[in-house]
Amino acid sequence: MRAVLRASAPILVIALAACGTDPAPEPTEQIIVREPGAATVPVVEAEDSLLAVGKAAFNTCIACHGIEKGGANKVGPNLYGIIGQAAGAAEGFSYSEALASSGITWTKEELDSYIANPAAKVPGTTMMAGAITDAGRREAIIAYIDAVSAN
């Protein structure tokens, strides 16, 4: 509401008004990958292998689920090594009662049916979004998680 109320701020603002300031310094480092309008630099050929599709598809999941080994839980639990785990097992994550007591073990089949429609498979789950209706995409995502977890 008024930055001026901080002890230092009024002086700062008045000083700015009175004598002007130097413009902002240059960036410490500026990496120009391409100019607007130029094609994206193709570093790798576009692959349609299952893992490549899965990795790209996982970008939708990544806002809520980390996948690095030992990575932190975010809005959703970290999924490293999830295949074969009991549901509700990621340490430190606050699961819904429904999921924690579901008794599910995350085989690929169980994961597949869950991702298809989380709220239907586990009513009360806090996974509010992220359903994937296409079976092929689900298969790719699961394959990707499996591959990452193997490292």
Q: 111-121: buried (b, 16+ CB within 10 Å) or exposed (e) per residue?
A: bbbbbeebeeb
- Residue among 29 and 109 whose Cβ is closer to another protein: 29
**Residue with Cβ nearer another protein (19 or 103):** 19
- Beta carbons of 118 and 139 less than 8 angstroms apart: no
Compute the least distance from the CB of residue 84 to another protein, in Å: 26
Contact residues toward another protein (CB under 8 A) are: 1-7, 10, 13-14, 16-18, 20-36, 40-41, 43-44, 56-60, 62-64, 74-75, 94, 128-134, 137
Please say which residue, 5 or 150, places its beta carbon nearer to another protein.
5
Tell the smallest beta-carbon distance from residue 137 to another protein (Å): 6
For residue 67, the SS3 value is coil
Task: Label residue 64 exposed, middle or buried (CB < 10 Å: 0-12, 13-18, 19+).
Answer: middle
Q: How far is the CB of 102 from another protein (least distance, A)?
A: 20
CB 64 within 8 A of CB 52: no
